[in-house]
């Protein structure tokens, strides 16, 4: 993946991957999201930053959280937003992705928010749009889900503040998880002290050691003294062949229960990007328990996506005028 996400003057044009982005930019996203968070709790949840801009949600794969929070974020920035239903679009009549894009561009769109089951789809689109159009990756295959990673970093910062002091464990299907890849890149860029992955060998990528993580196959050892526990769904739709004995056995070994969580620090937070599968990767008592910040992550998705969209489409001067 090689598309430049920054324009010639160094501003964010596309948001395709965390890879290659520097710490100050990730920090700016979180700082802006902090400002937008307060807007979401006002009676009138709108600012005129993207008034006159047109944003199209192009979701070729199912979504609840990402699609809805992108749509709400665009509306709160006063943009015109369309969520194209791919199942009822002319893609079902054989229209190619490139032709669909060019037709939407002819309607003078300013941004595409893209989710696709193929890794690299968002980058492909970014390479083929007009220069003034921004592309945001809302999840592509097993490759990246950078806005999810940023809302996760924002959630961690809200609770834990200083990244270098933290020990973070990511549990489960790392192999197929675009979220885990983006999280690991973001955690490393923000200087997190120790990043652990806990998974059976069959659910780890072959390049795991090069990601700069500590690998554990055992929950007891992996969870010891961590500050942040991130659980992941088994991505069955991306698994070719049987990589696991059964969901029941998986839960016994890798399901996050209250007992296993007690090995982490007492004030550890529990995160999950969703959708959660109760009784597979996480017990209900943990998902709904006092250490869970899973629904907070969803709420933060709006402010973080407002931040990213406004950085890609809005002017710095307008941002200062409206928010400072
Ligand atoms: N976290 C996440 O991407 O959820 P959705 O698939 O519901 O968008």
Which pLDDT tens digit goes with each residue over 229-269? 999 998 877 666 666 778 889 999 999 999 999 999 999 99
Residue nearest to atom 6 of ligand 1 (CA): 63
Residue 315 has pLDDT above 70, yes or no: no
Which atom of ligand 1 is found nearest the CA of 62? 6
Exposed/middle/buried for residue 73 (C-beta within 10 Å: 0-12, 13-18, 19+)? buried
Between 314 and 260, the higher pLDDT residue: 260
Domains and CATH numbers, the chain: 2-144+299-323 (3.40.50.1370), 146-294 (3.40.50.1370)
Ligand 1 test: best mutation among 64, 113, 182, 232, most atoms within 8 Å of CB? 64
Distances (CA, A) of 321 to 111, 165, 181: 23, 35, 36
Distance 148 CA to ligand 1 centre (A): 8
Residues 47 and 2: their CA atoms lie apart, in Å, by: 34
Predicted confidence band at 125 (pLDDT cuts at 50, 70, 90)?
very high
What is the 40 CA–ligand 1 centroid distance (Å)?
Answer: 20
Residue 112 DSSP one-character state: E
pLDDT at position 3 is 67
Cβ–Cβ under 8 Å, residues 272 and 238: no
What is the layout of strands, in order, in the sheet containing 80-85? 80-85, 54-59, 111-116, 134-140
Ligand 1 near 291 CB (within 6 A): no
Are 120 and 1 a contacting pair, CB within 8 Å?
yes
CB 64 near ligand 1, within 6 Å: yes
Q: How large a percentage of the chain has pLDDT more than 70?
A: 94
DSSP structure class, residue 123:
H
Measured from the CB, is residue 117 less than 6 Å from ligand 1? no
Task: Verify whether ligand 1 is closer than 6 Å to residue 63 (CB atom).
Answer: yes
CB-count exposure of residue 206 (10 Å: 0-12, 13-18, 19+): exposed
Concatenated DSSP letters for 258-315? HHHHTTS-TT-EEE--S---BTTTB-HHHHTSTTB-HHHHHHHHHHHHHHHHHHHHS-
What's the rounded mean pLDDT across residues 116-137? Answer: 94
Convert the pLDDT of each residue in 55-92 to its tens digit: 999 999 999 999 999 999 999 999 999 998 887 788 87
């Amino acid at each position: 993946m090689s598309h430049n996400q920054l324009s010639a003057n160094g501003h964010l044009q596309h948001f395709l991957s965390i890879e290659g982005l520097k710490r100050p930019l990730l920090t700016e996203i979180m700082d802006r999201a902090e400002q937008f968070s307060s807007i979401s709790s006002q009676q009138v949840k709108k600012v005129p930053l993207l008034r006159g801009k047109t944003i199209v949600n192009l979701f070729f794969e199912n979504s609840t959280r990402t699609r809805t929070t992108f749509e709400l974020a665009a509306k709160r920035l006063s943009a015109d937003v369309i969520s194209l239903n791919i199942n009822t679009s002319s893609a079902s009549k054989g229209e190619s992705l490139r032709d669909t894009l060019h037709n939407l561009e002819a309607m003078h769109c300013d941004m595409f928010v893209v989710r696709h089951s193929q890794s690299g789809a968002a980058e492909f689109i970014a390479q083929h749009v007009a220069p003034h159009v921004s592309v945001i990756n809302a999840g592509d295959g097993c490759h990246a889900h950078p806005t999810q990673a940023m809302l996760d970093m924002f959630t961690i910062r809200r609770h834990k503040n200083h990244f270098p002091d933290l020990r973070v464990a990511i549990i489960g299907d790392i192999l197929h998880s675009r979220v885990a890849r983006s999280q690991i890149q973001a955690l490393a860029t923000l200087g997190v002290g120790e990043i652990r992955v806990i998974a059976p060998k069959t659910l780890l990528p072959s390049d795991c050691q090069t990601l700069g993580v500590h690998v554990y196959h055992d929950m007891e050892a992996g969870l010891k003294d961590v500050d942040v526990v991130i659980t992941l769904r088994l991505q069955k739709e991306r698994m070719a062949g049987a990589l696991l004995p059964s969901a029941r056995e998986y839960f016994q070994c890798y399901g996050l229960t209250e007992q296993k969580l007690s090995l982490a620090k007492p004030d550890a937070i529990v995160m999950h990007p969703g959708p959660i599968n109760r009784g597979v990767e996480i017990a209900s008592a943990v998902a709904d328990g006092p250490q869970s910040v899973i629904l907070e992550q969803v709420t933060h998705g709006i402010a973080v996506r407002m931040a990213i969209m406004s950085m890609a489409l809005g002017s710095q001067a307008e941002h200062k005028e409206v928010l400072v």
